A and B are shown apart, each in its own frame.
Chain A
Amino acid sequence: MSDPDYHPTSTFVLWADAFSPAELDQIEAYGDRLVADEATVADMTSAYGEVRGAVRITRTAWLEPAPETRWIYDRMQRVVRALNDRVYQFDLSGFSENFQYTVYRGDERGHYDWHVDQGYVLKARRKLSISLQLSDPSQYEDCDLQFYAGNKIEHAPRDRGAVIVFPSYVLHRVTPCTKGTRKAIVAWTTGPQFR
């Protein structure tokens, strides 16, 4: 963790280099096999469909907990716990949802419009959302993970291996990919509802 100015109201926090390049290669290879087998294009139309258009175009596959993925869950757990202890201090119970391997493709203008990860119910249980950048920034154009909490849009770091953690109530989006391919692991920690 590099920035000592993090505060419970920080929009997001960063942990760089939580995974080595070789480990990132391994995650990517594993994810690519899953996507080749079972990827679906998540192209959801919002409740206000015709007004907002396609909210999301990504190829996703679920990275289920298994002997060969166990280490990824364990590592991510340690990173998120450490960041949470230092910054947000939310009550967390763990990852009750599987990790999602997501692929944004330039030829599909892959994107995900502004949203929050909490769902729209009061008793939402997602507490912290996580994004692991798997692609080198040279491999794609645009496809920027952005946050908005007023004043100005904040940009997530694009460096390969960056783990970006943010409260699940923060509005965020991924802008359309215009060239190449961006891959990421997306995960959510859950816990008792905010209090």
Chain B
Amino acid sequence: MTTYKTKPQNVGGPVVVWKDVFTPKELDTIEAYGDSQIPMKAEIAGRQGNTDNTRITRVAWMERNPDSAWLYARLEELVLQLNREFYGFDLYGLVESFQYTVYDGQEGGHYDWHVDLGGQDVEPRKISLSLQLSESSDYRGCNLELEAGKGTFVADRGRGTLIAFPSFVLHRVSPIESGTRKSLVIWVSGPSFR
């Protein structure tokens, strides 16, 4: 078990924030690995044609392999602790590959309001997580915003902060104004909510 100096905090609604879960060096490693996978413009499952109004993001898939095994192990540990402490959901685990996402100020990166539950062709998603890989000062705009019915919650931008929420929570990434924001997106699968 890794020991952390910080504790996960329920910051309102069903959103949990955990700061400084990786060291700067570890974050550098994740970022370098993601960049080496050459992120390509993302498509939206089940949608065809131009989806720029909904989403402009470059993504790369970070599959489970010897290079990423340590990261999967760490996230499993983090997710299990979060789930034990806050959610209590039935989970299968980290079935889907991690998504390394890049929002670029030159491209007008953004991702409009959506939920992550998934459709009929993927395992149900139960918990969604976003790991902030960029310093807040690296970019303007591009906030992860969540709407759980009590007004919009703007997620912490600090590098190394992990933001967790049930996959049914409506959220978006607001348009980037300048700079580049990188993040790692993780979905935890499990049997459908019951």
By a beta-carbon cutoff of 8 Å, the part of chain A in contact with chain B is 7-9, 46-48, 51-52, 89-91, 114-116, 118, 120, 122, 148-151, 167, 169-171, 193-195
Contact = CB atoms under 8 A, between A and B. Distances in A.
What 7 A-B pairs have minimum CB-CB distances, sorted nearest first? Answer: A150-B114, A116-B149, A115-B149, A9-B117, A8-B192, A48-B151, A169-B168
B148 interface: yes
A115 B124 CA distance: 24
Interface of B: 10, 12-14, 54, 86-90, 112-115, 117-120, 124, 147-151, 166, 168-170, 192-194
Given A90-B193, A120-B12, A195 B120 contact: no
A83 to B, nearest CB: 15
B13 A120 contact: yes
Contacts of A115: 149-150
A46 B194 contact: no
A122 B168 contact: no
A114 B149 contact: yes
Nearest to B13: A120
Contacts of A149: 114-115, 170
Given A167-B168, A194-B194, A195-B88, A150 B115 contact: yes
Given A120-B12, A169-B166, A7 B151 contact: no
Contacts of B170: 148-150, 171
8 contacts: A52-B151, A89-B192, A90-B193, A116-B148, A116-B149, A122-B14, A167-B193, A171-B147
Given A89-B192, A169-B168, A194-B166, A46 B89 contact: no
A7 B90 CA distance: 19
A7 B13 CA distance: 26
Contacts of B194: 89-91, 194-195
Is chain A's interface secondary structure helix, strand, loop, or mixed overall? loop
Is chain B's interface secondary structure helix, strand, loop, or mixed overall? loop
Contact of A194 (B89, B114, B117): B89
Residue from A51, A115, A194 having most chain B Cβ neighbours under 10 A: A194
Nearest to A11: B115
A171 B151 contact: no
Contacts of A150: 112-115, 170
Nearest to B149: A116
A9 B118 contact: yes
B193 A195 contact: yes
Contacts of A151: 54, 112, 114
A153 to B, nearest CB: 11
Given A90-B193, A151-B54, A169 B169 contact: yes
A113 B188 CA distance: 31
A151 B124 CA distance: 19
A41 to B, nearest CB: 21
B113 A148 contact: yes
A89 B192 CA distance: 9
Given A122-B10, A195-B194, A171 B149 contact: yes
